[in-house]
């Protein structure tokens, strides 16, 4: 029988200090669950059993010798993490869920990975995702689609599909993802966990396989807002390896909050269950004394169109390095979605089309950023759906790329404007599938978003939910 696995960082810490279990016992429990159930879900590409036990034994020794002081030096001591397989990990296979890199073993680790290691976290494996992070459902992985633990017939969201599914299935306590257009927030929303898309420039992307470099962000994921906040504190800040990273002191001084409701995000096409859930969330915030005002972001109706010009252009540039000469397999191993985005990107950057498409998209992006900045002169945050519908069935949109791309329609604004956004679970559909919402704030307002998220969950007496497998 598998032991009860703690749901939060603090629960893990308390159990270890009280000697309810050892770190090695936790590793035994997680690996047992993965072995028993991940064949159905397919959230892992690589399981790092040897590494997990090696680090766990060191953690148990630290706790035995230093007790509570060990957690002061290592705030995530004993916490089990799994990484989206676009994070390079020293000595551990890293594939980006593509057959191009199916045997690639890096000689260094990403900054986010190293910082979590240094905080005491234990890597248990590498997680499945849409190949090269191209997708919204997890169906584009060349290692097979990931399934939603709440209902195996449904998608878990993408591209960080394994990152959301592994948390919902209790295969790990923490996970990492990347968000280029909702790829942390969407699987968090569809799997009933918390995920942060940080400010562009908050967390180093060093050692993360690039998709679209002006949009990519590294995002922590966990079962509670508090745990995501602790992960963010551990991995954010300059590392001297990513020139876009700013040195910022995060603090929220607000005693009262004003949240904007953008009319463009609550219009036609929004599923009734998603809309009703958001209405309930707004009522709870009003009960807490939060003021709501209507705002407008008129140019965001072009956001998804702008994204699907800029992103493929950057994809075509970034994937050009995979030539099969220095490492990896030949380009014949690229999947259909990667080929589609390379062709789109090459087209919009080509002579005669650059001005008509790419340059025009960049101008609209600037307009969107200006409108978003103006809105935050009036409100502290903005509330919105994460996706227009609850999770959809596997295969429902696989043959219609345009419909799949529209899944990201509410996500693109945060990435194009570089602002932070957090996905927060807030209930379930009548069919038992997770529902949630997102809060967006001005640049480097992560602390404010954490405060708002914690207030909401405290008011509803939120308890992390794990899918019954």
On whether the CB atoms of residues 207 and 184 are closer than 8 A, the answer is: no
CA distance 431 to 194: 21
In this predicted structure, the answer to whether residue 267 has a pLDDT above a threshold of 90 is: no
CA 151 to chain centre: 20
Active-site pick, 84, 147, 223, 397: 84
Instruction: Give me the catalytic one of 183, 236, 299, 316.
Output: 183
Question: Is 39 a residue whose pLDDT tops 80?
Answer: yes
pLDDT at 1: 64
Q: Are 66 and 50 in contact (CB under 8 A)?
A: no
Task: Return the closest-CA partner of residue 464 out of 429, 435, 425, 436.
Answer: 425
Nearest to 63 by CA among 115, 109, 23: 23
Buried b (16+ CB within 10 A) or exposed e, 278-299: beebbeebeeeebebeebebeb
Our answer to whether residue 183 is catalytic in this structure is yes
Query: Does the pLDDT value for residue 403 go beyond 90?
Result: no
Active site residue 159: yes
Domain at 9-459: CATH code: 3.90.1300.10
At residue 124, the pLDDT reads 98
**Are the CB atoms for 306 and 313 separated by under 8 Å?**
no
pTM: 0.97
Q: How far apart are CA 466 and CA 374, in angstroms?
A: 40
Q: How high is the pLDDT of residue 249?
A: 83
Catalytic residue among 43, 136, 137, 159: 159
For the chain, give the mean pLDDT.
96
| Residue 253, pLDDT above cutoff 80 | no
Say what percent of the chain tops pLDDT 70: 100
DSSP assignments along 277-325, one per residue = HHHHHHHHHHHTT-EEEEE--GGGGGHHHHHHHHHHHHHHHHGGG--SS
Residue 241: the pLDDT is: 98
Output the six-digit token pair for 76.
Answer: 């995530």
With both helix axes pointing from N to C terminus, report the angle between 303-318 and 336-349 in degrees, rounded to the nearest 10.
100
Element (H, E) at 95: none
In the chain, where are the structural domains located?
9-459
Closest CA to 305 of 185, 386, 406, 215: 406
Of the given ranges (25-39, 83-97, 176-190, 319-333), which has the lowest mean pLDDT? 319-333
263 is catalytic: no
Average pLDDT over residues 447-461: 97
């Amino acid at each position: 029988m598998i032991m009860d696995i703690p749901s939060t960082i603090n629960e893990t810490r308390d159990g270890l200090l009280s000697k309810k279990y050892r770190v090695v016992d936790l590793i035994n429990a997680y690996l047992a669950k993965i072995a028993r159930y991940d064949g159905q879900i397919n959230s892992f590409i690589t399981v790092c059993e040897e590494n997990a036990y090696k680090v766990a034994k060191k953690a148990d020794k630290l706790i035995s010798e230093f007790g509570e002081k060990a957690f002061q030096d290592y705030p995530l001591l004993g916490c089990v993490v799994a990484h989206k397989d676009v994070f390079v990990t020293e000595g551990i296979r890293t594939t980006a869920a593509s057959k191009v890199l199916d045997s690639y073993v890096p000689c260094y680790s990403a900054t986010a990975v190293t910082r979590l290691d240094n905080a005491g976290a234990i890597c248990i494996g590498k997680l499945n995702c849409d190949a090269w992070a191209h997708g919204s459902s997890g169906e584009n992985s060349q290692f097979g689609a990931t399934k939603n633990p709440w209902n195996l017939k449904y998608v878990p969201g993408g591209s960080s599909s394994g990152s959301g599914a592994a948390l919902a299935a209790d295969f790990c306590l923490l996970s990492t993802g990347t968000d280029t257009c909702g790829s942390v927030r969407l699987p968090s929303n569809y799997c009933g966990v918390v995920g942060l898309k940080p400010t562009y420039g908050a967390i180093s992307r060093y050692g993360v396989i690039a998709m679209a470099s002006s949009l990519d962000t590294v995002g922590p994921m966990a079962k509670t807002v508090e745990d995501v906040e602790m992960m963010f504190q551990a991995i954010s800040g300059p590392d001297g390896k990513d020139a876009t990273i700013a040195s910022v002191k995060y603090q929220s001084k607000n005693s009262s909050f004003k949240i904007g409701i953008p009319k463009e995000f609550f219009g036609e096409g929004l599923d009734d269950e998603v809309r009703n859930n958001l209405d309930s969330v707004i009522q709870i915030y009003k009960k807490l004394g939060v003021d709501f005002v209507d705002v407008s972001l008129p140019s965001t109706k072009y956001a998804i169109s702008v994204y699907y010009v800029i992103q493929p252009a950057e994809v075509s540039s970034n994937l050009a390095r995979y030539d099969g000469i220095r490492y990896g397999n030949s380009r014949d191993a690229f999947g259909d979605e990667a080929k589609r985005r390379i062709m789109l990107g090459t087209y919009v950057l080509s002579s005669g089309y650059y001005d008509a498409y790419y340059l025009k998209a960049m101008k609209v992006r600037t307009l969107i950023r200006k409108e978003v900045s103006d809105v935050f002169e009036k409100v502290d945050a903005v509330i919105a759906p994460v996706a227009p519908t609850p999770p959809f069935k596997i295969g429902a949109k696989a043959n219609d790329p345009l419909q799949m791309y529209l899944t990201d329609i509410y996500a693109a604004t945060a990435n194009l404007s570089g602002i932070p956004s957090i996905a927060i679970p807030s209930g379930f559909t009548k069919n038992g599938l997770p529902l949630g919402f997102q809060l967006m704030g001005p640049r480097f307002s992560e602390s404010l978003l954490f405060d708002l998220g914690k207030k909401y969950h405290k008011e509803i007496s939120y308890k992390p939910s794990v899918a019954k497998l």
